[in-house]
Chain A
Amino acid sequence: MNTRLRQWLANQKVTSRFHPSWILIAVGASLAIGLLMWLLSESVFRHERPSPAVSVLPASTQRLPASEQQLSPPANDSALPAAEIIRTVRLGRAIFTDTQTYAKAYVGNGLNCVNCHLDAGRKPDSAPLWAAYGLFPMFRDKNHKVNTYEDRLAGCFRFSMNGRAPAYGSKEFVALMSYSYWLASGAPLGTELAGRGYPKLPPPQQEPDLVRGKQIFDTQCAICHGADGQGTRVGTRYAFPPLWGPHSFNAGAGMTQIKNAAGFIKANMPLGQGNTLSDQQAWDVAKYMTSQPRPADPRLGRP
């Protein structure tokens, strides 16, 4: 995380506006920055140092070599923003992995963002954030509008989390955007990257079937998600999230579309055994899951 964040910060500096006279003190400032970075790495990143996990991005999104930019902002000013952006990225990650705590007010069910976007939004074929960030603004059929990235986040809060969106520009949105932006560093803009979204399975050979779907659910999924699909709690939190029922995603969520559900399940479930179900099994169990009761679509009926 350390190296990547450092590179990322270096990149941020290119986009800052500098006074021309800074060039004169560039060399001195670079030294000071170097020292600061080292200090930061000793304190802020202490826990992260040996982490391979945070830098887990597919090769296609690995950072390009840092640019040859020479400018560096004055040490005094750069210290705080640097620390602040790191805090914000970390908060974004915390919101994403523990939405129940860090964005409690906006969540209306028992889920966390990470439940459908595995490995803290990094896992390919699990709608990873690094592949999404550079695709917005985007036209979406869902609301027939050009959507910004914030609009997209808002959608998952409203439907997948059965809650309401934080205000645009709120600390939650800024943090989630910063985290996504950081994960996406080096990714090209407007390009559909391998691993984006959930895989699109070929159409099922047989019509997806509820009876076969239930059989798969009972034998392969119920051990974790519960015989009734209502999830399994440890204390007040879900260790295995509910797939339907009052604490799951609502009827307007993307996961209620059988093609999304089948793609997600095929690539990611049972946990740790992704891509072991056949396509047909994924379609069948997705059919079963998406046919179950869940909170209503907030766009229908009363707001």
Chain B
Amino acid sequence: MKVKLTRLIMTLSMAMPMQQAHAEVTGAALAQQGAPGVPACLSCHGARGEGLAATGFPRLAGQSTAYLEKQLRAFAGGQRVSPQMQAIASALDDSQIRAVAAYYGKLPGWQAAPSANPAAAAPEPWTRGQKLAIRGNWDKEIPACFACHGPAGEGIAPHFPALSGQPAAYTRSQLKAWQSGTRSNDPHGLMKSVALRMSPAEIDAVSAYLANPLPLSPEER
């Protein structure tokens, strides 16, 4: 009896790390090579999960694991509509979803370039977007984006995703998806309430800012 118990404990304690190691391998393998019926994620999301600005494929690196899992399940379940991702997410089984989400969740998140001057390219929308992200527009009951998405847009796991460093085209497409109803998987409609109040110009401005955000000091807020 005693022997059996020790054996059981030993097998369990050995199996756990092995399973974890296995998960990391499949996560990385899925990301880089894909699997039968599943294209490699990197072909669209970038070698380090950094996303692709030109096409608006989102950054995955540094997004919380729980959030990524939730989104993959939403694509598969149809609560979030995307021609590219629906087929891919539906082809992933549960353990693959967990593995690949864990893989991207552990990669480093977005960092501002040290000497960046992002306002230079398009000062007007970028500055307007900065105000919206940091102060909101309470005339229209729009809270600051960063009130929910973290003080630097870095996300507040698990419910509030990072926005900083996302391609502008991606942020824009998501805000429009809430407006048109093709995305409706947010808890309590919290994001939908915000998106519905935004004008096209506000969407453009905040998307431009979030691709390359810089903070404001409290005295400038």
Contact = CB atoms under 8 A, between A and B. Distances in A.
Contacts of A232: 156
B218 A101 contact: yes
Interface string B168-197: 000000000000000000011110011000
Contact of B136 (A51, A93, A119, A239): A119
B201 to A, nearest CB: 12
Contacts of A240: 156
B90 interface: no
B104 to A, nearest CB: 20
A181 interface: no
B147 interface: yes
20 contacts: A50-B131, A51-B131, A53-B137, A90-B220, A93-B218, A93-B221, A97-B221, A102-B218, A123-B138, A223-B187, A224-B148, A232-B156, A240-B156, A271-B143, A271-B148, A272-B142, A272-B190, A272-B193, A272-B194, A273-B188
Contact of A97 (B124, B188, B218): B218
B50 interface: no
B54 to A, nearest CB: 28
B216 interface: yes
B77 interface: no
Contacts of B150: 234, 239
A229 B154 CA distance: 23
Interface string B137-164: 1110111000110110010100100000
A20 interface: no
Nearest to B136: A119
A223 B151 contact: no
B190 A274 contact: no
Contacts of A98: 218
Interface residues of B, number: 31
Interface of B: 124, 127-128, 131, 135-139, 141-143, 147-148, 150-151, 154, 156, 159, 187-190, 193-194, 216-221
Given A51-B131, A53-B131, A273 B193 contact: yes
A25 B147 CA distance: 50
Given A53-B138, A119-B138, A234 B151 contact: yes
Contacts of B187: 223
A56 B140 CA distance: 11
A189 to B, nearest CB: 25
A237 B151 contact: yes
Contacts of B137: 52-53
A154 to B, nearest CB: 22
Contacts of A223: 159, 187-188, 190
B218 A272 contact: no
B143 A50 contact: no
A273 B195 CA distance: 12
Interface in A87-105: 90-91, 93-94, 97-98, 101-102
Given A234-B150, A270-B190, A272-B193, A53 B135 contact: yes
Contacts of B138: 53, 56, 118-119, 122-123
A120 interface: yes
Contacts of B135: 53, 119-120
Contacts of B151: 234, 237, 239
A220 interface: yes
Contacts of A273: 188-190, 193
